Structure 1
Amino acid sequence: MFQAPEYTQAVSARLSEVLADIGVDERIVMKRRRTWLLKESMDNISGHNLLDKNGSRYTLGSQSEGTTTFGVHSDIDQLVCSDDINMIQDWSHWQPGVINYLMIQDETVSPGYCLLQRLRADVPLSYNGEPNKYEFRDRAGRILLRNKIMSDVAKAVGKKFTCWKGVQHGPAHTPPRQHGVYDTDIVGAFLCKSWPLQARQWLNQQGVGQWPSDNMRRYCSRTGCFVVGVGNKRNDNEQLEWRISTSLAERCLMFNLNITQIRCYVLMKMILKTYIKPQYEDTISSFMCKTVLFKLIANTHYNFWRENNVLVCLSMCLFALYNCILNGNCPHFMIPGNNLIVGHINHESKPHLLEILLYIIHSEGTALFWIESDDLGSRLLLKLNNLSPFKISDIVSGGLLQVTAENIDNKIKYCLSFISHVTKWLYEYC
């Protein structure tokens, strides 16, 4: 299968056609990105300019990347951060008159995580006052922020706005669906404007594929990083650790994939949904698949990723994932010391996962026939029998237009409601 014989090329061509029919083509991918990036812009413009909120909201994940379909049912991932807190990794970035926290990344902290040390607001020195209920004084006398503050803030907001009650999943809060279409995972975070120290080496690495390019790496280095309120469960400092997220840099990388690479990622998520999730829900994540894809792209030549080679590309991705599980190590693409598999795959499930992946790899594409998401399997069978199934790409396009209209309508109503309340208050009290 890795030799791309005529059979594999023929199936790859048909598979690419099927994926285009269900909306995984350049046009729909760009429309998805514009839809959700427009929402991100509207959220931030209304928040900063009209409502005078000192914070930012980012729409991340599969929807804004354009790497999903209706059948995959990807959530909307929103990251909300306050601009009132200055996160620094170097003392030279300390600012007077604001809340400053120093990101500590030493041998006591898990790779991919950090501690947040409170600093004084008047001079660039460590804060030595009494810790509040969300702070902890360690043996070295440092005042460290507990990550529990993020989940408590989410709960407080949920109680204040009764219409926004939801479920807590780790660092994410999931409110009820507003329109019955998408779940929204809202994660609170702090923004650090400088690139994480643990990922500095990545900026100078270059694989045989010459990807990411130097321009992409320079852009990524300017995106900084986020710190999210969740610690490593295998570390004694779990309540004090904060996970380092390079989400904006990862979004940049996703925006620079070609359509074959995007299709491989979508197919991997469909395979997870069909073969892995029903039996082993919390083992292999889509982020692991994305990480494996990044690594493979960086170490293969660009001309490998062709539409008539998509089946071989998919098999290579699954084989790389297989090796990660076999070796018990799936290193984060930008912070290699962070092993994404740790704590997710136990000894009992490991052989079964390997067996499933090996079956799919050696199936020569027939395993795809059983994928029900977007009727991919049945559509592929029809294509291979020279029949043309009904295209839904235009329906997908119309659905995205409806989402855009609803986002604009909701934002206008929200802003008008705010203006109405302010006007009423001014009339009554001024």
Structure 2
Amino acid sequence: MDSIRSSQTTKAIQRISESVFVGLCHKVGTSQLVAMRRDVVDIRDMVMNQEKTCKYQRVTMTSGSYREGFRLQGSDMDFMLWTNDQRVIWELSQSQYYNTNRQSLILCDCYDSPPGFTLLYLLSPSVYIEIQGACVRMNNRYYVSSSKYRQIHLSALSPLFIPHGPCATLTTGVLEIDNAYCFVCDFWPPSASSWIDRCHSWPQPHVVDDIVKNGCHFVAIGHKPGNHEDHEWRISFSKAEHKLVYAMNHCQFLTYGLLKLFLTEIINNGVGDADKLLCSYHMKTTVFWVIQKNTIPQWCPQNLLECFWVCFKLILKWVYEGVCPNFFIPGNNIFRSKIHGVKQHQLFIRLSELYGKGLAFLLHSPSIRSYIIDVLYNPRNSICTDDHTLFSEVEFDRYLFNEVLNNRLSSVAELDKKICIRYLHTIEQMIGSPLLTKYQVLKLQTITAFVLQSTAFILHMQTYIPENKLRYRADKISCHMLKLAARFGCFTHMLYLAMYYYKTFSYMEVLSITEMIIFKSLHPSVLGSNVNTEMYTEALRGQSWSTKMRQALLGDIELENKIHYIGELIPEQQSALQNDRSYLKVPAFILLFMLQILCYTHVDTTRAQRALKCLQTLVHYDQGILTNLKDRDISWQILGICQQLTGNYQAALYSYLQSLRQEPTNKIRTATEMRIQRVRQWIPVIKL
């Protein structure tokens, strides 16, 4: 009888595991979605960094959970930045691999530092002011001080950046961006050599070789209880870690995702930042150790909760002992500086209480509770764990297009004509590579469109041509680039060409483009929020993603704030720049009606009023069908601008006040307040 009950309990747990697996695929992502996200980020970083051929340009690497393939709410975007002409070595003999006339070398001094940390000794003078200013003299040597290095970089950034560990952190809405200015080393740390010997079953030898040959980084933070906290640097294995996460199978990745949800929704729920002892890095370290120890015979959907439970017990053991060994350097206890004494005891008591409840404590997780309850109430329902069937074609395409369009080049703010040409040359070299995945090809196309659009407007901004004939030729080149860009993006991106026509006073061409976009948007297969799934599938079945995007995607318009597209929005771009917002995100139809109003004002005032009425209806009544509700600040702002241009100052004031009440997504408050002040000069103050 006991064996029968045990068998029934095991089967019930397996069914709940399968249901939770499906839930995590919806919450965290299917294997296809996760692979797509990683490919898109990888190719973006590759393009951005291959373009950086100049000696002093800084390489940027996306790291953390975003690079790993997570898109959970509240996840940070982490970036590591370094210069290629500064290299760290572990011993002097390694200097033979560098041209010291072109690269400055820094030597590790680990003699008096705990495992995982080191001092950095400057072997030769540096041309970088931040390194010169960060040097401290110890034992007749110059060392780069981590605390000074952090402070110098932080002081050079906007006041909106705040220190956060080794990073400078900027909070934009619900998103945190962490920039870690660091140094790179091409050699694997000697203190991590034991890790190579441990890799018998996982990861595979080719992954180990790839990780080792890529070396490590050094981030600017010291060991708190140590003797040189202000000057030490921590060895970072960020690049190795995302390669290890890539090497996980999908069940292992979802177990990692479940641990992250367990951390945020149960352990740290309602806990202040200062009292959050466990972090996502501890969860990742746990999964690494459990996989490598090979204590779980099979990582599969039926065993997902068992996998989670093994990881949870390991965390409980570590908290009890006060020791969490770094995966690469076990002698580095990553609990040492934070989890000890009374706090350690309190955390252990809390985790023990959860342990006593068994897996039932997962019912406290809002993300997966319903998937557990469904099985308990419907134990006979079949569960399909083939994650390729969980999303329809329309749903997957929507995720894909959102990812490739929103994953921007972070260095675009510094674009000039020469940089644009280098980007295009880089893309040309990469586009035919047989190593690119289908997702990366699509991302390269959107990057190409983005660079072409930017180049066209930069040429107009930065090129002064007094002769009409030469000006005509330059405009023709810019128009050709914008038409070419429209072939790679979605159909609403024809609005970039329309803005250029408006900039060059070609009003009829603008109106022709806007009418064409309106006509195309009426087709029920257009991929908006009210897309007809059957018609979308029927119309575009078998078509490439490039064709689908060009014919059916209703995409927003992103205006780089250092590039002037139309004069009427320059104050908004300047306001956003002051608040470290690099671009304005404008719903396509808001911009479309704005362009119609601006052009009809010159050719047909009656139609201008009709277009204004359409814009007003859209802003007042649209519920996210044609416009993104998160961008209502710029939508109300543009309505106010158009009302002000047509002489309706009272309505314009109302719209500007409404813009102030929206979520400040685009950071245009300064421009809004300036416009309110100007409008009030024309009308009495209205109390609303």
Q: TM-score, length-normalised on structure 2? A: 0.54
- 1:378: Cα distance to partner? 2.6
Q: Which amino acid aligns with 1:250?
A: E
Within 5 Å, give how 1:156-235 maps onto structure 2: 156-159=155-158, 165-177=160-172, 180=173, 182-206=175-199, 210-235=201-226
Q: Which amino acid aligns with 1:204?
A: D
- 1:181: Cα distance to partner? 5.7
- 1:324: Cα distance to partner? 0.6
- 1:349: Cα distance to partner? 2.5
SS of structure 2 residue aligned to 1:39: helix
Structure 1 stretches of 5 or more lacking a match?
123-130
Larger radius of gyration: 2
Please, which of 337, 341, 349 is the counterpart of residue 331 of structure 2? 337
Q: Structure 1 residues 388 and 23 mapped into 2: Cα distance closer, same or farther (>3 Å)?
A: farther
Structure 2 counterpart of 1:37: 42
Q: Does 1:81 align with 2:82?
A: yes
Distance 2:346 2:400 in 1: 38
Q: Which amino acid aligns with 2:185?
A: C
Structure 1 counterpart of 2:271: 279
Distance 2:105 2:462 in 1: 35
Distance 1:226 1:333 in 2: 16
Please, which of 349, 354, 363 is the counterpart of residue 348 of structure 2? 354
Structure 1 counterpart of 2:17: 12
Work out whether residues 322 and 344 of structure 2, in 8 Å CA contact, stay in contact via their aligned partners in 1.
no
Structure 1 counterpart of 2:247: 256
Q: Structure 1 residues 63 and 392 mapped into 2: Cα distance closer, same or farther (>3 Å)?
A: farther
SS of structure 2 residue aligned to 1:93: helix
Q: Which amino acid aligns with 1:259?
A: H
- 1:246: Cα distance to partner? 1.1
Structure 2 counterpart of 1:114: 118
Structure 2 counterpart of 1:316: 310
Distance 1:398 1:150 in 2: 42
Structure 2 counterpart of 1:54: 57
- 1:347: Cα distance to partner? 2.3
Distance 2:353 2:33 in 1: 32
Work out whether residues 150 and 171 of structure 1, in 8 Å CA contact, stay in contact via their aligned partners in 2.
no
SS of structure 1 residue aligned to 2:277: coil
Please, which of 239, 258, 273 is the counterpart of residue 267 of structure 1? 258
Deviations 1:131-151 (A, max 9, x none): 954222223x22211112432
Counting aligned pairs with the same residue, the percent is 23
- 1:54: Cα distance to partner? 3.0
Work out whether residues 15 and 375 of structure 2, in 8 Å CA contact, stay in contact via their aligned partners in 1.
no
Of 304-313 and 51-60, deviating more is 51-60
Of 418-427 and 256-265, deviating more is 418-427
Q: Structure 1 residues 176 and 355 mapped into 2: Cα distance closer, same or farther (>3 Å)?
A: closer
Q: Which amino acid aligns with 1:143?
A: Y
- 1:191: Cα distance to partner? 0.3
Q: Does 1:146 align with 2:141?
A: no
Distance 2:64 2:207 in 1: 19
- 1:377: Cα distance to partner? 1.4
Of 308-317 and 296-305, deviating more is 296-305
- 1:52: Cα distance to partner? 7.0
Q: Structure 1 residues 422 and 344 mapped into 2: Cα distance closer, same or farther (>3 Å)?
A: farther
Q: Structure 1 residues 340 and 410 mapped into 2: Cα distance closer, same or farther (>3 Å)?
A: closer
Q: Which amino acid aligns with 1:17?
A: V
Work out whether residues 31 and 397 of structure 1, in 8 Å CA contact, stay in contact via their aligned partners in 2.
no
Distance 1:145 1:166 in 2: 22
Within 5 Å, give how 1:62-101 maps onto structure 2: 62-66=65-69, 68-71=70-73, 73-94=74-95, 95=98, 96-97=100-101, 98-101=103-106
Work out whether residues 58 and 78 of structure 1, in 8 Å CA contact, stay in contact via their aligned partners in 2.
yes
Q: Does 1:290 align with 2:284?
A: yes
- 1:332: Cα distance to partner? 0.4
Distance 2:291 2:337 in 1: 26
SS of structure 2 residue aligned to 1:314: helix
Work out whether residues 28 and 397 of structure 1, in 8 Å CA contact, stay in contact via their aligned partners in 2.
no
Distance 1:153 1:214 in 2: 41
Count of residues paired in the alignment: 402
Deviations 1:176-227 (A, max 9, x none): 42xx4632111001000100111012111245xx112222221111110101
Give the alignment's Cα RMSD to 1 decimal.
3.1
- 1:302: Cα distance to partner? 6.3
- 1:301: Cα distance to partner? 5.5
Q: Structure 1 residues 388 and 414 mapped into 2: Cα distance closer, same or farther (>3 Å)?
A: farther
Distance 1:147 1:422 in 2: 41
- 1:155: Cα distance to partner? 2.2
Of 316-325 and 304-313, deviating more is 304-313
- 1:55: Cα distance to partner? 2.8
Q: Does 1:326 align with 2:331?
A: no
SS of structure 2 residue aligned to 1:291: helix
Of 144-153 and 403-412, deviating more is 403-412
Q: Which amino acid aligns with 1:223?
A: N
Q: Which amino acid aligns with 2:404?
A: T
Deviations 1:88-122 (A, max 9, x none): 1121222422321101122x102100111111369
Work out whether residues 55 and 84 of structure 1, in 8 Å CA contact, stay in contact via their aligned partners in 2.
no
SS of structure 1 residue aligned to 2:341: coil
Work out whether residues 171 and 228 of structure 1, in 8 Å CA contact, stay in contact via their aligned partners in 2.
yes
Work out whether residues 14 and 384 of structure 1, in 8 Å CA contact, stay in contact via their aligned partners in 2.
no
Work out whether residues 323 and 334 of structure 2, in 8 Å CA contact, stay in contact via their aligned partners in 1.
yes
SS of structure 2 residue aligned to 1:333: coil
Q: Which amino acid aligns with 1:134?
A: A
Q: TM-score, length-normalised on structure 1? A: 0.84
Q: Structure 1 residues 38 and 388 mapped into 2: Cα distance closer, same or farther (>3 Å)?
A: farther
Distance 1:166 1:396 in 2: 35
- 1:307: Cα distance to partner? 1.1
- 1:231: Cα distance to partner? 0.3
Q: Which amino acid aligns with 1:205?
A: R
Larger RCO of the pair (alpha carbons < 8 Å, separation 6+): 1
Work out whether residues 266 and 364 of structure 2, in 8 Å CA contact, stay in contact via their aligned partners in 1.
no
SS of structure 2 residue aligned to 1:365: helix
Distance 2:55 2:108 in 1: 28
Work out whether residues 66 and 75 of structure 2, in 8 Å CA contact, stay in contact via their aligned partners in 1.
yes
- 1:397: Cα distance to partner? 6.4
Work out whether residues 186 and 215 of structure 2, in 8 Å CA contact, stay in contact via their aligned partners in 1.
yes
SS of structure 2 residue aligned to 1:189: strand
Within 5 Å, give how 1:378-389 maps onto structure 2: 378-386=370-378
Distance 1:355 1:275 in 2: 14
Q: Structure 1 residues 22 and 120 mapped into 2: Cα distance closer, same or farther (>3 Å)?
A: closer
Q: Structure 1 residues 308 and 223 mapped into 2: Cα distance closer, same or farther (>3 Å)?
A: same
Q: Structure 1 residues 406 and 52 mapped into 2: Cα distance closer, same or farther (>3 Å)?
A: farther
SS of structure 2 residue aligned to 1:175: strand
Q: Structure 1 residues 185 and 388 mapped into 2: Cα distance closer, same or farther (>3 Å)?
A: farther
- 1:388: Cα distance to partner? 10
- 1:167: Cα distance to partner? 1.9
Structure 2 stretches of 5 or more lacking a match?
1-5, 384-389, 421-456, 466-688
SS of structure 1 residue aligned to 2:407: helix
SS of structure 2 residue aligned to 1:183: strand
